[in-house]
Amino acid sequence: MKLRAASLFAVLALLTQLGGLSAAHAESVAQRIPAQRLRFAPGADTITRNGVLRFGGADRYVIRLGVNDDFEVSASSGNNNVILIIWGVDGTVLISDHADASSWRSVTPKTQDYYIDVRAIDGTSANYQLTVYAKPLSPNPPAPGIKRIVFAPGTSSATVSGKVVPGGYNEYVIKANAGQRMLISATAEEQRIAISVVGADGTVLLSSMPGASNFSGTLPSTQDYFVKVIIQGAGFAFYRMTVTVEALVY
């Protein structure tokens, strides 16, 4: 048993050196903190748990989610002295203790178990409340004619193609997080095209009026972003568009 624990810690230490788990978290994983399984009640998409941590301790939870689920976790305490650590059973770290964060939101990269550690910091005790929200992104377009862009697991960009006719446009939607950098590049051979980028809350990041076919900017909030491809000439145009959303760096 001791040998197996030592081997596990050695593997986690290697992940640490490669930029994965921190040394402190690798140690906690090696100690095999018991995990409480989270399950949603029928029809629910939110789970709340309360707990008490003593002198820098940690509680661990585990939840099974599908690929591209909308996943949000937050932990609060009276003294604001808890942080979150979240990782997949495959070793993919979604948020490490280096982030010193008590909330996190993104889209799950694959179907698997996800572990959530709630940790008291500064060697103190903490009464906390953990809230977990998860909901599958709809596989259907949010409205007729709008296509959702979903990145393949392990990637941060996707390329789409289509045809636009005079007076028309094609529209796409992609979910991204506050602080992420989005880059869009669209090209066409027959006619000039333009793009626009607008948040679901109405924030205009790029208007089609300047006629730009490229966009680069940091996203102001976590939400859906709508991208329109619009023709600028009198004829039709076949186009290709590449959308990249860079991962957050903690």
Residue 136 has a pLDDT of 78
Predicted local distance difference test score (pLDDT) of residue 25: 46
Calpha distance 82→70 (Å, rounded) = 23
More confident of the two residues 172 and 13? 172
* Amino acid 44: pLDDT: 87
pLDDT of residue 97: 86
Mean pLDDT value across residues 68-82: 90
Select the CATH number that applies to the domain covering 146-245 from these four: 2.60.120.380, 2.170.190.11, 2.170.120.12, 3.30.470.20: 2.60.120.380
Report whether 52 contacts 94 (CB < 8 A): no
Please report the pLDDT score of residue 191 as a whole number: 80
Whole-angstrom distance, CA of residue 94 vs CA of residue 86: 5
- Domain residue spans of the chain: 33-136, 146-245
Confidence of residue 165 (pLDDT cuts 50, 70, 90): confident
Do 86 and 38 meet the contact criterion of CB atoms below 8 Å apart?
Answer: no
pLDDT tens column, 45-59: 999 999 999 887 899
pTM of the model: 0.49
pLDDT at 26 over 60: no
Would you say residue 160 has pLDDT above 80?
yes
Under the banding of pLDDT at 50, 70 and 90, the label for residue 43 is confident
What's the rounded Cα separation, in Å, for the pair 32 and 22? 16
pLDDT at 225: 94
- Residue 15: per-residue pLDDT: 43
pLDDT per residue as tens digits for the range 166-216: 777 899 999 998 899 999 999 987 788 899 999 988 889 998 888 899 999
Is the fold of 33-136 the same as that of 146-245? yes
Residue 141: pLDDT band (50, 70, 90) is very low
Instruction: For residue 99, give every residue at least 6 positions away whose Cβ sits within 8 Å of its Cβ, in sequence order, or none.
Output: 83, 250
In the chain, what percentage of residues exceed pLDDT 70? 83
Question: 10 falls in which pLDDT band (50, 70, 90)?
Answer: very low
Q: What is the 3-state secondary structure (H, E, C) of the chain?
A: CHHHHHHHHHHHHHHHHCCCCCHHHHHHHHCCCCEEECCCCCCCCEEEEEEEECCCCEEEEEEEECCCEEEEEEEEECCCCEEEEEEECCCCEEECHHHCCCEEEEECCCCEEEEEEEEECCCCCEEEEEEEEEEECCCCCCCCCEEECCCCCCCCEEEEEEEECCCCEEEEEEEECCCCEEEEEEEECCCCEEEEEEECCCCEEECCCCCCCEEEEECCCCEEEEEEEEECCCCCEEEEEEEEECCCCC
Instruction: Quote the tokens at residue 221.
Output: 């909030």
Architecture of the CATH domain 33-136: Sandwich (2.60)
- Token pair of 205 as six digits: 């990041």
